[in-house]
Amino acid sequence: MRPIRAVLLIVAALYGIVLASGLGVFDHAPGPSNAFAYEYSTTITTSTSNTTTTTTSTSTGPACLHTLGFFKNHPEAVVGGMQLDSQSLTASQALAVLRATPGSHSGVTFTSNSLLTLAQQVLAAELNIAAGANPPASVTQALQQANAGLNVTISGGVVAISGSLTKTQISSLTNTLSRFNEGRLGGGISCKS
């Protein structure tokens, strides 16, 4: 009886290591609760002279994190209800902000290019979080600071972005949110789609 118990303990430990390391078979089909999540399963089979045990576990892996560029080019991934300042944007308004550039910004006005970039990174981060990403505290804090420093109004379908942040604050917040959206701060994994 003791050898079987020892084998089961070793198998349980190995199973824990496999799950913690993220090893497993990745299935790239989207799950119902997170359209950008990976699902993986791990199967461990152990045998003794009298018994064969097979354990299979399937769970959702870390959420996919997508960059601003992904959301600009995949309108189906942009949902309404994202917040800029205290304004809730429709999907089409959020997409207009995401696609705006200094030379082409239909439906969006902004007082500086850097504020536009910050607003775009805020929206990308919020879309990643809505898709299941788990932001680290630094990202949550950056989102709070960015939204507190952005002034967003919507009038006649035009989203106007201004702000009270300094250039240094804008740069720092944009950098933090960009790194999160690229999968370099945790909260999910970078997915190239």
The three-class DSSP label of residue 2 is: helix
* Tens digits of pLDDT across the chain (193 residues): 455 555 444 545 544 444 444 443 333 333 333 444 444 455 666 666 677 666 665 555 678 899 999 999 999 999 999 989 989 999 999 999 999 999 889 999 999 999 999 999 999 999 999 999 999 999 999 999 999 999 999 999 899 999 999 999 999 999 999 999 999 998 888 887 5
Query: What integer pLDDT is reported at residue 27 of this predicted model?
Result: 30
**How many beta carbons lie within 10 A of that of residue 40, not counting itself?**
17
Percent helix, strand, coil in the chain (nearest 5)? 45, 25, 30
Query: What integer pLDDT is reported at residue 124 of this predicted model?
Result: 97
Distance between CA atoms of residues 57 and 18, nearest Å: 11
Entry pTM? 0.70
Query: What integer pLDDT is reported at residue 63 of this predicted model?
Result: 86
Residue type, 102: P
State the burial class of residue 51 (Cβ atoms within 10 Å of its Cβ: 0-12, 13-18, 19+): exposed
64 and 189 Cβ atoms separated by less than 8 Å: yes
37 and 132 Cβ atoms separated by less than 8 Å: yes
